[in-house]
Amino acid sequence: MPTPARTSARALSPRLALGVLSTGMLMTVLDGSIVTVAMPAMQSDLGFTPVGLSWIVNAYLIAFGSLLLLAGRLGDLIGRKRMFLAGTGIFTAASLLAGVAASPEVLIAARFLQGVGSAMSSAVGLGILITLFTAPRERARAIAVFSFTGAAGASLGQVLGGVLTDALTWNWIFFINLPIGFATLLVALRALPSDRGLGLGAGTDVIGALLVTTGLMTGIYAVVKIEEYGAGSAHTLGLGALALALLAAFLVRQAKAANPLMPLRVFRSRSVSGANAVQMLMVAALFSFQILVALYLQKVRGYGAAETGLAMLPAAAVIGAVSLGVSARLIARFGERNILLTGLLLLVGVLGLLTRLPVQADYVTDLLPVMLLAAGFGLALPALTSLAMSGAEEKDAGLASGLFNTTQQIGMAIGVAVLSTLAASRTESLTEAGRPAAEALTGGYHLAFGVGAGLLLVALAITFTVLRRPAAHRPEAPQAPEAPEAAEAPQAPGATTAPNPPKALATH
């Protein structure tokens, strides 16, 4: 009776692979947030200067954000499974180096290597996922799980970082990655589909690789240093102009190169280009919710770290419930575009309410409704991920995945730099005008929330115009009987048949 056994194995493999890819995403996001809680202990033990301490985060962010696009394309060329395994291996080894670091220089170097490994594994994760789940409904469920893992890792990281640092030492926030990394590697060897890739000859553009990596690295460095130098400083403007020039040269190079690293055909898809633009705006806007609400609770309302975590917990709970519980079914019924619009409208409501947040806010009446409306993120992210991957051919899946992750990181860096700078500037001007400290801080946050709401309104406009024809979903009734068979059909390694795909803060 071999047939049932083979069918069972085929049914198990995609789910096991989804578990491996989600674990890789969890490690990446967890590592970005877990380190922030332990930074004071690292400063005390290793003797970091206040300026040097920021490089524990910046070294990771610069490496991660600047290499995602390159890693995604290399995954298409040499094989996405190979890229995922290599990235997970580098990340795990770098975690060991970070855990045993005895000087600031070694820890910063280890964090940079962690960023390299994370970029390699994260960039191809969604590319692998969309080749495993070809039926629209199954893919929507898989993307919802993958998306939720990132959101859960961000919330879990701050709690876990505090527990490990207090109960053991800061070193264990890195050592915890070792068993997870080894287990991920062992399971990935069997669970992930093997693919040979297109071959380096299909896109070995060394000059293009240098231009895009240097341009992104310069741009992200300029953005993360805005708070230190100022948005209008020669440092920021000079590096920003250099980054734009390098990226413009990269695009010119890709239009003329015989074997471009990033074929510009990927941007011909309205779904790919529009979804990436929407994501950059959405992630930048939601920094004001994710970070500034926590700062408001602590600096204005006087909450402790644990109280702040509990106050933000309803938001994480509703995001998880919506993304895992209903988003896939709603997307299958109404289409990605309609669900994305609904999610963005809810998020506009979140930031709109926060612009009216009083200094002495009552949690139940002023803040709890905001936390519940955050369910919009659980609708928007899976739908946006599906749209971002829906226009990419199978041979460009790694590139599309890397591009989506890159715009996410750029949006995050812009949100951190611009909105925090605006809030600080407004707070300073209110303080100089004689306002009490709590009122001045709240006024600064109000400005950031308002700008964030404006960014979301622009994202809504792009969704209405650029994404006006969702190709991925039509009513499924006539095709419903065929969907399960398509999801379970065996797929040869390296197959080039292109389904009509979809795609999924990390956050720091």
User: What DSSP string runs through 107-129?
Assistant: HHHHHHHHHHHHHHHHHHHHHHH
Lowest-confidence region among 124-138, 462-476, 483-497: 483-497
Q: Residue 104 has which token pair?
A: 């600031």
> What pLDDT is recorded for position 499?
32
pLDDT above 90 as % of the chain = 13
Position 455 confidence tier, pLDDT thresholds 50, 70, 90 = very high
Lowest-confidence region among 51-55, 191-195, 295-299: 51-55
- Which DSSP letter does residue 194 get? P
Cα separation, 338 vs 334, whole angstroms: 6
Q: Amino acid letter at 117?
A: G
pLDDT tens per residue, range 211-257: 888 888 888 788 777 767 777 788 888 988 998 999 899 888 888 87
pLDDT tens per residue, range 370-413: 888 888 888 888 888 888 777 666 666 667 777 787 788 778 77
**Residue 336 neighbours by CB distance under 10 Å:** 32
> What pLDDT is recorded for position 203?
57
Helix and strand numbers, DSSP H then E, in the chain? 22, 0
**CA-closest candidate to residue 196, choices 398, 401, 393, 15:** 398
Lowest-confidence region among 111-125, 302-316, 449-463, 464-478: 464-478
Question: In sequence order, what are the residues at sequence separation of 6 or more whose Cβ sits closer than 8 angstroms to the Cβ of residue 98?
Answer: 107, 110, 111, 114, 174
- Which DSSP letter does residue 28 get? H
> What pLDDT is recorded for position 341?
92
> What pLDDT is recorded for position 230?
76
* 3-state secondary structure string across 133-155: CCCHHHHHHHHHHHHHHHHHHHH
Task: Tell me the backbone φ, ψ of residue 90, rounded to 5 degrees.
Answer: -65, -45
Residue 467 contacts residue 387 (beta carbons within 8 Å): yes
> What pLDDT is recorded for position 493?
33
Q: Which residue has the higher pLDDT, 357 or 124?
A: 357
> What pLDDT is recorded for position 495?
35
Position 164 confidence tier, pLDDT thresholds 50, 70, 90 = low
* Most confident of the ranges 82-96, 165-179, 485-499: 82-96
Position 483 confidence tier, pLDDT thresholds 50, 70, 90 = very low
Tokens 């575009």 map to which residue? Answer: 337
Residue 64 contacts residue 98 (beta carbons within 8 Å): no
**CA-closest candidate to residue 25, choices 398, 348, 504, 458:** 504
Per the prediction, the chain carries an average pLDDT of 77
**Residue 179 neighbours by CB distance under 10 Å:** 10
Instruction: Provide mean pLDDT across the span 22-45.
Output: 74
Cα separation, 293 vs 449, whole angstroms: 9
> What pLDDT is recorded for position 154?
61
